[in-house]
């Protein structure tokens, strides 16, 4: 199948799963098709998919990744020993693991085409990621605690693993507990990563988007926690601070290059 044929096949399969959407026409425009496909993947509840669907989906997502291009960790220059700063799309970074800023349900963002990193990671990993997360949560039997971490495979992402952590949600003035919980997110991910032998990990800006943690203070906590962890544990794990916005790049660059 061509990429267009795969996309249309996947859309039709996903529409057939949803009785209220079955008669929805497939748009002729490629951009609208992509938007519809992503929306249908976003709202799909965790459930098994046929082998034919998964084959077509995996081929489609890998071709999309190839078109976007993959950034290799080996192509990046460290800011200091073992620490990197990279501005770009974390779903295109090839390293051992990336960190997902998850919600307490842990099965991804269900808002169609939402711009959060949780939505992006689940979209481009494929429907298998939501299934694995749902299995973890079913076994756990409760919502994920803030400041903890879970690990899954990465499926169609160029990394090997995804570490999922729930950051604090800020609804009023920032508190010391909020800061402690955010630091726990970074430490929990690092501890879990080293337990399974991960040698490189890319952190997104946890809690600074939809969870409203102030960007500058979040970056200070992130950098301090990572540096302290590496020293205290004599860790050689490579850490990439991944940012998407210019403002975050400037904040992290200033922190990481300060004496």
Query: What is the model's pLDDT at position 259?
Result: 59
The average pLDDT across 123-147 equals 97
Query: What is the model's pLDDT at position 194?
Result: 97
Instruction: Single out the residue of 116, 127, 122, 86 nearest to residue 239, CA to CA.
Output: 86
For the CA atoms of 226, 229, 233, 238, the dihedral, rounded to the nearest 10 degrees, stands at: -10
Query: What is the model's pLDDT at position 210?
Result: 83
Query: What is the model's pLDDT at position 36?
Result: 97
The average pLDDT across 113-135 equals 97
- What pLDDT digit, counting tens, does each position of 159-207 carry? 999 999 999 999 999 999 999 999 999 999 999 999 999 999 999 999 9
Q: How confident is the model at residue 75 (pLDDT cuts 50, 70, 90)?
A: very high
Q: In angstroms, what CA-CA distances link 206 with 7, 20, 32, 164, 243?
A: 32, 36, 30, 10, 10
Prediction pTM value: 0.95
Query: What is the model's pLDDT at position 165?
Result: 98
- What pLDDT digit, counting tens, does each position of 25-50 carry? 999 999 999 999 999 999 999 999 99
Q: How far apart are CA 250 and CA 247, in angstroms?
A: 5
């Amino acid at each position: 199948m061509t990429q267009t044929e795969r996309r249309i096949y996947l859309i039709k399969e996903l529409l057939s799963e949803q009785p209220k959407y079955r008669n929805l026409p497939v748009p002729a425009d490629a951009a609208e098709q992509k938007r519809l496909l992503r929306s249908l993947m976003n709202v799909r509840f965790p459930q098994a998919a046929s082998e034919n669907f998964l084959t077509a989906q995996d081929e489609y997502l890998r071709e999309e990744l190839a078109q976007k291009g993959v950034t290799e960790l080996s192509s990046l220059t460290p800011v200091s020993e073992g620490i990197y700063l990279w501005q770009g799309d974390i779903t295109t970074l090839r390293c051992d693991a990336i960190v997902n800023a998850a919600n307490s349900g842990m099965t991804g963002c269900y808002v169609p085409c939402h711009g959060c990193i949780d939505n992006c990671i689940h979209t481009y990993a494929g429907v298998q990621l939501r299934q694995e997360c749902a299995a973890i949560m079913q076994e756990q039997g409760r919502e994920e605690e803030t400041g903890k971490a879970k690990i899954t495979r990465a499926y169609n992402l160029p990394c090997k693993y995804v570490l999922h952590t729930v950051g604090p949600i800020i609804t009023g003035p920032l508190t010391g507990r909020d800061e402690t919980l955010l630091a726990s997110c970074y430490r929990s991910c690092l501890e879990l990563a080293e337990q399974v032998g991960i040698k490189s990990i890319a952190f997104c800006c946890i809690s600074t988007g939809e969870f409203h943690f102030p960007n500058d203070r979040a970056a200070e906590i992130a950098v301090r926690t990572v540096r302290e962890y590496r020293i205290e544990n004599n860790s050689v794990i490579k850490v990439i601070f991944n940012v998407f916005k210019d403002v975050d790049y400037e904040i992290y660059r200033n922190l990481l290059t300060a004496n």
